[in-house]
Amino acid sequence: MIGIEDFDKVDIRTGTVIDVSINKRARNKAYKVTIDFGEEIGVKTSSAQITDLYKEQDLIGKQVIAVVNFLPIRIGDVKSEVRILGTENQDGVVLLSSDQKVPNGLRIF
């Protein structure tokens, strides 16, 4: 179990996908996703294994929820700076999202 103090250390924000391409050197099929998190955080990239349910063109303009304060890691050719949140079912990863459009960079609590 973790305490609320631990949860509060995780910075989860809203952002809008502005570009998507295949991460060609990733071991598992993945996209390089570029996300706008607003003025405070800016534009960040992520390598995301979300190719089963999402086409590149369908992700452009989609609002996502991501952890923005993990240490960056390199996945294939991509410096993955944020972790897009989702859950997995039998068909693949389903992205978490807000049921209403909200400004980029809002904190999830």
Q: In this structure, which CATH number among 1.10.630.10, 2.30.42.10, 3.30.930.10, 2.40.50.140 belongs to the domain 4-95?
A: 2.40.50.140
Assign 6 to helix, strand or coil.
helix
As a whole-number percent, the residues of the chain with pLDDT over 70 amount to 100
Task: Indicate the pLDDT class of residue 51, thresholds 50, 70 and 90.
Answer: very high
Burial of 56 from C-beta contacts in 10 A (0-12 / 13-18 / 19+) = middle
pLDDT tens digits for 18-32?
999 999 999 999 999
Every domain of the chain and the residues it spans = 4-95
Span 5-15, average pLDDT: 96
- The pLDDT assigned to 26 comes to 96
pTM given for the model: 0.95
- The pLDDT assigned to 13 comes to 98
Count the neighbouring beta carbons within 10 Å of the beta carbon of residue 100: 6
pLDDT tens digits for 81-95?
999 999 999 999 999
Does residue 32 contact residue 79 with C-beta atoms inside 8 Å? no
- The pLDDT assigned to 96 comes to 96
